[in-house]
Amino acid sequence: MSGFRRACGRCGQTAWWSLVLWFLATPLAASAGSSPASTETRTVDVVIYGATSAGVTAAVQVARMGHSVILIEPGRHVGGLTSGGLGFTDSGDKRVIGGLAREFYQRVRRHYDNPTAWQQEAAQDYARYRPTEDAMWTFEPRVAEQILQAMLSEASVELLLQQRLDRNIGVRVEQGRIVDIRMESGLILAASQFIDATYEGDLMAAAGVRYTVGREANSVYNETLNGNQVQANTHNHRFLKKVDPWRIPGDRSSGLLPGAEDATAGIDGTGDERVQAYCFRMCMSNSPANRRPFPKPDGYNELDYELLLRNFEAGDLRFPMKPDMMPNRKTDTNNNCAVSTDFIGGNTHYPDADYAEREAIVRAHERYQKGLMWTLANHPRVPEQIRREMAQWGLPLDEFVDNDNWPHQLYIREARRLVSDYVVTERDCRRVVIAPDSVGLGSYNMDSHNVRRFITADGFIQNEGDVQVSPGGAYLISYRSLIPARGSLTNLGVPVCLSSSHIAYGSIRMEPVFMVLGQSSATAAVLALRNNISLQDVAYPALRDQLLKDGQVLDLPPQSAPRILISKESLPGLVLDNAEAVLEGNWVASSSSPNYVGAGYLHDGDLEKGTMSATWTLTAPKSATFQLNLSYSPGNNRSNRVVVQVNVADQKHSVLVNQQQKPTIDGLFVPLRTLTLQQGEKLVVSISNRDTQGHVIVDAVQLVEVAKDNN
């Protein structure tokens, strides 16, 4: 294991980990066994470990380029999350999805062009079926697996299932190259090139490559969205009501409820060992002919859902999940709100855990989530409106038929990450930095789910770690982030657990991007073996030519030019950003629209009118006449009647701002008032969403001295 991998961060996890261990006392059905023991040695050009979507595209690419390949998978299925329930493609800008990834989504559309594909509804009743488009981005899990298996079969890829890497002594390295890898069954696979396409980075770690786990501090890579996120806790996936975390309300001596951690808020931007929460992306059905009730798991304990029930009783009546509709009246169901499908804190030890501990963690997630669904559907303390909503849903009878209709793949949103010569960071995602050796593009939000629950200063429970900030367009991913650093292994590609910071990985970690990077890694592997060179010495122009020939998208689309980060320090006068405002209410952070100061802006979501405000206090730096300006990111969905209060001394002014109109000062600011101030005098500026229709934006205020007229 690399020395860069920090010591396992188990501090502060006792309560939650005790819950996990309790879960393990009642095991679920045993997982499928490995293939029979073997001492056979197989030799091919390329070995790919992990039949995730990235592993499938990598294997198909190697085969199509005329080389021998073995795709080996620890489990029983191919496709990872793409066939494991994540049918609602988190794609961002679909123009940047090319090559084999786009071919997959084109095959999805062709599948649904066939009338026989529609068994539970008519094609015209499904809004996301658009036969005039070249691809389709939503699909049923079994359809995804059928298509991926067909792509492998057509390319004559040899697929080996239920073969796990011996992570202790199973990787033989000589002179900086992997020579062969050994499975627990005894099977040995030798190759010129290897690709680790697992979600965990197991081959990478066992080979001794430098990697990391967890959230870097903002200071490590000059970022703004990494590390602890308490002050930025303005998303919807948190507690909006005050919920007591103690087993006996108000009695600390009674101990914390399951899911709560005995820790304080911490310091914003500091790093730790935590990874974003996992869940199963459940496929549900509302077709009476194709559904079964949610099962009550063995070992069910009502106390495990006490936070959920207390949150309802505190008045948070939001539906605690996000069921996006797939074809045939099925869903891809994701986490939503304060207590939902994410098993927050239950995955802390997963990335470096051995197989037995990982399997126990997976079973604990399954038990938690099955118990959650049963609770929502049946428990009398769940509000009636929630139980009515749940009554229409169940598990689909025709999905995951070999796993009791439950997804076979846990959503490993993040585990290990390579540390290489190029680390993709927030600055890449925002196009402040432009990689010169692009092998694919990302474009989705910098998206991290919560990592923990802590106790607030006033003694209530709160979630922490969720970030959902748009990069503002597509960005380039460097080839060097897919391979180990120079001086390390020379024949290992890592398209899934690539070299990136935690927050950048939150954007990269989308299945279409993994497919793109899998194909690019395979292309580089073939070029390296053909020329008998290291992956680090593959000439980028040759790699680029081959990728373009095979349909990959490597350049920024129109209107995605490099972005210049507008810092408040670069602007004239005194500027206060939204981070320096005193906030009331549930503001949401964003950077989706252009033209704003700093890392992003806040908006009210066009919700909870009259409950949100932002207030800045400015101090006049000298005695002079100043112009007070307001910055916001304009748009058609903004409010055209935002009242800004400007108070100085005993004077109070109200200014009406139309946030649909483009700001007139450098495209950033609109003037509010001209004011004569004395040095040290305080000026208070407030924005409220009271009596507004449309989104209200909070970005920055500016105080600029008015030039004297010398005439």
Span between the terminal Cα atoms of the chain, in Å: 73
- Beta-ladder partners of 624: 677
Percent of the chain with pLDDT over 70: 92
What is the value of pTM for the model shown? Answer: 0.80
Rounded to an integer, the average pLDDT of 30-54 is 76
Q: Pick from 28, 38, 287: which is nearest to 163 by CA?
A: 38
Q: State whether the Cα torsion 150-152-157-160 is positive or negative.
A: negative
Tell me the C-alpha distance between 499 and 282, whole Å: 29
Question: Which tens digit of pLDDT belongs to each residue from 264-282?
Answer: 999 999 999 999 999 999 9
Q: Quick one: tokens of 171?
A: 């990787």
pLDDT at 39: 75
- Beta-ladder partners of 273: none
pLDDT of 616 > 80? The answer is: yes
Helix (H, G, I), strand (E, B) or coil at 543: helix
Helix (H, G, I), strand (E, B) or coil at 294: coil
Q: Pick from 146, 59, 155: which is nearest to 107 by CA?
A: 146
Question: Which tens digit of pLDDT belongs to each residue from 78-123?
Answer: 999 999 999 999 888 999 999 999 999 999 999 999 999 999 999 9
Q: Where are the domains of the chain?
A: 41-106+139-214+414-451+477-549, 280-396, 568-705
pLDDT of 522 > 70? The answer is: yes
Q: Pick from 444, 448, 427, 440: which is nearest to 480 by CA?
A: 440
Give CA separation, 307 vs 241, 251, 256, in Å.
Answer: 11, 15, 10
pLDDT at 18: 40
Q: H/E/C letters for each residue in 73-105?
A: CCCCCCECCCCCCCCECCCCCHHHCCHHHHHHH
pLDDT at 225: 93
Query: How buried is 291 (Cβ within 10 angstroms: 0-12 exposed, 13-18 middle, 19+ buried)?
Result: buried
Angle between helix axes 384-391 and 355-378 (nearest 10 degrees) is 110
pLDDT at 585: 80
Half-sphere exposure of 184 (CA within 13 A, CB side): 14
Tell me the C-alpha distance between 23 and 26, whole Å: 6
- Say how many C-beta atoms besides its own lie within 10 A of residue 435's C-beta: 18
Tell me the C-alpha distance between 688 and 574, whole Å: 22
Rounded to an integer, the average pLDDT of 218-226 is 95
At 530, is the pLDDT very low, low, confident or very high (cuts 50, 70, 90)? very high
- Beta-ladder partners of 583: 614
Give CA separation, 143 vs 98, 104, 480, 510, in Å.
Answer: 20, 11, 34, 19
Rounded to an integer, the average pLDDT of 252-273 is 94
Helix (H, G, I), strand (E, B) or coil at 152: helix
Q: Residue 100: CB partners within 8 Å, gap ≥ 6?
A: 57, 60, 61, 151, 515, 518, 519, 550, 551
Tell me the C-alpha distance between 600 and 697, whole Å: 11
Q: Quick one: tokens of 138?
A: 């939503």
Half-sphere exposure of 340 (CA within 13 A, CB side): 28
Question: Which tens digit of pLDDT belongs to each residue from 56-76?
Answer: 999 999 999 999 999 999 999
Rounded to an integer, the average pLDDT of 528-553 is 98
At 9, is the pLDDT very low, low, confident or very high (cuts 50, 70, 90)? very low
At 561, is the pLDDT very low, low, confident or very high (cuts 50, 70, 90)? low
Whole-number average pLDDT of the chain = 91
Rounded to an integer, the average pLDDT of 303-312 is 98
Q: State whether the Cα torsion 260-265-266-271 is positive or negative.
A: positive
Give CA separation, 398 vs 122, 240, 283, 309, 326, in Å.
Answer: 18, 38, 10, 32, 14
Tell me the C-alpha distance between 104 and 91, whole Å: 13
pLDDT at 595: 79
Helix (H, G, I), strand (E, B) or coil at 224: coil
Question: Per mean pLDDT, which range of 264-268, 369-373, 425-429, 583-587 is the poorest?
Answer: 583-587
Helix (H, G, I), strand (E, B) or coil at 523: helix
pLDDT at 5: 61
What are phi and psi for residue 679, nearest 5 degrees? -55, 130
Q: Could you confirm whether domain 568-705 is CATH 2.60.120.260?
A: yes
Cβ atoms of 586 and 579 closer than 8 Å: no
Tell me the C-alpha distance between 646 and 628, whole Å: 9
Rounded to an integer, the average pLDDT of 580-587 is 84
Q: Could you confirm whether domain 41-106+139-214+414-451+477-549 is CATH 3.40.50.800?
A: no
Rounded to an integer, the average pLDDT of 401-425 is 98
pLDDT at 605: 83
Tell me the C-alpha distance between 190 and 482, whole Å: 21
Cβ atoms of 11 and 349 closer than 8 Å: no
β-strands 416-418, 211-213: how paired? antiparallel
pLDDT of 350 > 60? The answer is: yes
Tell me the C-alpha distance between 527 and 521, whole Å: 10
Angle between helix axes 141-154 and 99-113 (nearest 10 degrees) is 120
pLDDT of 233 > 80? The answer is: no
Question: Which tens digit of pLDDT belongs to each residue from 637-690?
Answer: 999 999 999 999 888 999 999 999 999 998 899 999 999 999 999 999 999 999
DSSP for 560-576, written as a single string: -PPPPP--GGGSSSEEE
Cβ atoms of 415 and 199 closer than 8 Å: yes
Cβ atoms of 566 and 667 closer than 8 Å: no
Helix (H, G, I), strand (E, B) or coil at 597: coil
pLDDT of 401 > 50? The answer is: yes
* Helix and strand totals (H; E) in the chain: 12, 33
pLDDT at 17: 39
- Beta-ladder partners of 646: 653, 685
Read off the DSSP letter of residue 285: B
Cβ atoms of 138 and 88 closer than 8 Å: yes
pLDDT of 2 > 70? The answer is: no
DSSP for 313-375, written as a single string: HTT----SSEEEEEGGGEEEEE--SSSSS--TTTTTTTTT--HHHHHHHHHHHHHHHHHHHHH
Q: What is the CA radius of gyration of the chain?
A: 27
Cβ atoms of 408 and 362 closer than 8 Å: no
Rounded to an integer, the average pLDDT of 203-221 is 97
